[in-house]
A and B are shown apart, each in its own frame.
Chain A
Amino acid sequence: MEQQNRLELLKEILLAEEKDITQSLVDKVDKLAHTLNEPTELAQKVDPLVDTKINNLVKEMPKTLSPVITEALKTEIKNSQDAVVEALFPIIGKMIKKYISHEIKVLNDKVNDQLQNMFTFENIMKRFFGRKPKGTDIINAATSPSLIQVMVIEKETGLLIANHAPDPNDGIDEDLVAGMLTAIKSFVEDAFKGGDQELETLAYELYTLHIQNFYNYYIVAVVSGVYTIMTKDKLEDLLLEFADKGVSKKELQDNELFTNKLKLFFSDQTI
């Protein structure tokens, strides 16, 4: 028993230092475990490091990723030019068209205002005493609408009664155009169920088809250039005058006679 006590004593003396080290390690492990398991304490330790890393990444990202993304986009656009144009064309086209059309209308209205002002006493006097023509005269001449074709079409059948084109286009068959216009007109009028309302205009890029309806027939005037409300009014007056003076029952049944009358009446292309 005494021997046993001595061994224990010897053990304590020899291992005293290791015991302190072990205890110190246990304390540190406990503290680390506590830090890991407590989110607030872990956050205090980790957050600054993560923030630093993120800040560095954000700073470096444009330098490292930008060339890669730019190159990838360039390659993709180059390889799919048709698709890109297809996607962008309608948007850009519409924007440009809308802008130009708006600007031309504004210009046209200004020109019309100025033209009206030209006939004031002051302006007439200026012109009388040798003043050169105004720039608006030239602009107006350039943008004025011109009559490309006039067609008289029987309403129900869609048959062409008379046709006049100052510069005939060999590419189109007027009989088929008359039929298809009648079909389109009927289709639109039926589709929108507008009661007695009838289709009055069709716009096609630079051309406007002015449609004037009468009881048995309708007249289509194909106009090139800017089609404004003023143009519409003038055309309506012109076509009403033609219908009033030019169209008789006999002429409606004689295509040749009617066509000659149409040519004579619309010999001047300007509206």
Chain B
Amino acid sequence: MIKLSKKIALVGSFGVGKTSLFRRFIDNEFSTDYKSTLGVQIQKKVITMDNGTELTMILWDTEGHENISEGRSSYLLGSHAFVYVFDITRVDTYKDINDQLVFLKKHYPKAIIKVVGNKLDAVSKKKVVETLQENKVNYDYLTSAKTGEYVEELFADIAVDLTT
């Protein structure tokens, strides 16, 4: 059996639900806890893929920053994938998203990037889609850490990308 370990970093502004997504995926729980002063929380989940590969996903849940460059860059080094999370109910968390994605692609060219709008439980999906289109925001998933909607799908997608 092939065994792989990959580092996935969750980034995005403060209060967008990174930790809640993290907890939903790892423990299948909804949490609003905040991380310690170290500024990062690390957890892992082992997934067995259809092709038999055992993938250990090491998730680095970093503290929120409007601008990724303001965060501790050493925590992001070597990441195989990024989950860029924004709050669909707060425009300020995605108004500069394209600049942030350019930054990530420039500094981590080999990493997979997934853009995720969280808190789908708080507003109607139709309205959100319209608003995001108006703001020219391209996203991969709209999730709800609270209900668990599309969380498994998001990480399963990342797992497939990391193993193929």
Which residues of chain A have a CB within 8 Å of any CB of chain B?
Answer: 154-160, 173, 175-176, 179-180, 183-184, 186-187, 189-190, 255-256
Residue of B nearest to A256 (CB): B3
Enumerate chain B residues within 8 angstroms of A157, measured Cβ to Cβ: 7, 58, 77-80
Q: Output the least CB separation between B82 and chain A (Å).
A: 13
Beta-carbon contacts of B1-37 to A below 8 Å, as 1s and 0s? 0010111000000000000000000000000000000
The interface residues of chain B, by DSSP majority, are classed as strand
**B40 at interface by CB-CB < 8 Å:** yes
The answer, among A155, A176, A186, A256, for a CB contact under 8 Å with B72, is: A186
Number of A-B residue pairs with CB-CB distance less than 8 Å in the complex they form: 54
A175-B44, A183-B42, A255-B3 in contact; A190/B74 too (CB < 8 A)? yes
Residues A187 and B7 in contact, CB atoms below 8 Å apart: no
Contact call B7/A175, Cβ cutoff below 8 A:
no
B123 within 8 A of partner (CB): no
User: Quick one: given A176-B43, A179-B60, A183-B38, are A154 and B78 in contact (CB under 8 Å)?
Assistant: yes
Cα distance, A160 to B44, chains bound together (Å): 12
* Residues of B in contact with A, size category: 20 to 34
Verify A179–B39 contact, CB threshold 8 A: no
B103 at the A/B interface (Cβ < 8 Å)?
no
Query: A159 — which chain B residues lie within 8 A by C-beta?
Result: 5-7, 58, 78
**In the complex, which residue of chain B has the Cβ closest to the Cβ of A186?**
B74
A256 → B minimal CB distance (Å): 8
B75 neighbours in A (Cβ, 8 Å): 183, 186
The one of A158, A189, A190, A255 in contact with B58, judged by C-beta atoms closer than 8 angstroms, is A158
The listed residue (B7, B44, B74) touching A176 by CB distance below 8 A is B44
Contact A179 B3 (CB under 8 A): no
B79 cross-chain contacts in A, Cβ below 8 A: 157
Which B residues are in CB contact (< 8 Å) with A175?
A: 5, 44, 56, 58
Which residues of B from 69 to 88 have beta carbons under 8 Å from A? 72, 74-75, 77-80
Check B72–A179 contact: CB distance below 8 A: no
Cβ A179 vs Cβ B78 within 8 A: no
Q: What is the distance, in angstroms, from B45's C-beta to the closest C-beta of chain A?
A: 10
Sampled A-B contacts (9; CB under 8 Å): A156-B77, A156-B78, A157-B78, A159-B78, A176-B58, A179-B44, A187-B38, A187-B74, A189-B74
Q: A156-B77, A186-B72 are in contact. Are A176 and B42 (CB under 8 A)?
A: yes
- Chain A residues with CB under 8 Å of B44's CB are 173, 175-176, 179
On whether the beta carbons of B58 and A179 are closer than 8 Å, the reply is: yes
